[in-house]
Amino acid sequence: MAIEFELDTSDRGVSARDFLQREIAAAPTAYLNQLFKKKKVLRSGMPVAGDELLSAGEVLTLPDSARLQELVALSRQQPVMPQVLFENSEILIVDKPAGLAVHAAVGHETINLTGLLQKQADSQGTKFKIAPVQRLDLETSGACLFGKGRKALGELGQLLMDRQLRKTYLTLVNGVYSGSDELVSAVRAKGKVKEARCRVTTLTANRTASLLEVDLLTGRQHQIRQQLAQQGHPLFGDRRYHGPCPSGLSRIFLHSYRLSFHSPFGGEPITVTAPLPDELDNFLRQSGLTLPD
């Protein structure tokens, strides 16, 4: 049975793409674009383009699929405050769930991680502004660093620019990893080609998959996804870069596992680890692998 969305009067004049980004907020933009490109979004039985404007009372029809059903269900869940991994008067590190945008964007204007954290801070009577120092993709989970107030944000931002913030990710890739321990390659980020560098360690592997620990040495958009795909080892769940997408995995297998740095407000070392989410841990076990202790 097809998935249907009926527009009301408040939706008059909105584009089909913006409407679906709002209604299926957990869906990656690239995934929705593919639905439009493949003419799978219908209006009155006819394909509709993403930039076409809609009218009240119209119905958009999408194909029924397990992935779409999961994304719709995830989008309709009430947001849950993320677990705080570390907090002091200047620094806040939280465990971002997959499917929750870090900041306000199209389809995520009212529900996003920054907004939830700011709302909680406001309810506690604090007067500082909370803002992200790093930004994780929609489907990426794990440790995410925020600054409290303009001064803290500036100091932490400088830490990031000086590459004094060590960011370690866990990812599951296709096949037995055979690439270099240090990758240096060109990636496309925000419309430009830039050099990207990272270190790769294989934690465990079998004939079909490898669990990798990746330390970012630069912070380019989609860097890990692009560089590992270039090596012939795309990430599980990554449709954009042609990774395997089994039915048992509804998201990209990419997790911000550890942040390490020296506090710019006293110099003490800070290391925070975000546990692997249940859905990734379960899929890892289904793949015949486990995260080493």
pLDDT for the residue 105: 63
Closest CA to 233 of 209, 260, 206: 209
pLDDT for the residue 14: 85
Please enumerate in sequence order all residues whose Cβ is within 8 A of that of 48, keeping only pairs 6 or more positions apart, or say none: 16, 36, 41, 42, 60
Does the reported pTM lie above 0.85? no
Query: Does the pLDDT at position 104 exceed 80?
Result: no
DSSP-derived 3-state class of residue 34:
helix
Q: What is the pLDDT of residues 201-229, one digit of tens each?
A: 999 999 999 999 999 999 898 999 999 99
Q: What is the pLDDT of residues 173-205, one digit of tens each?
A: 999 999 999 999 999 988 899 999 999 999 999
pLDDT for the residue 223: 95
Query: Does the pLDDT at position 253 exceed 80?
Result: yes
Q: How confident is residue 6, by pLDDT bands cut at 50, 70 and 90?
A: confident
Query: Does the pLDDT at position 109 exceed 80?
Result: no
Structure-model confidence comparison of residues 78 and 155, the more confident one:
155
pLDDT for the residue 264: 93
Distance separating alpha carbons of residues 187 and 47, to the nearest angstrom: 33
Query: Does the pLDDT at position 26 exceed 80?
Result: no
Domains of the chain: 3-76 (3.10.290.10), 83-286 (3.30.2350.10)
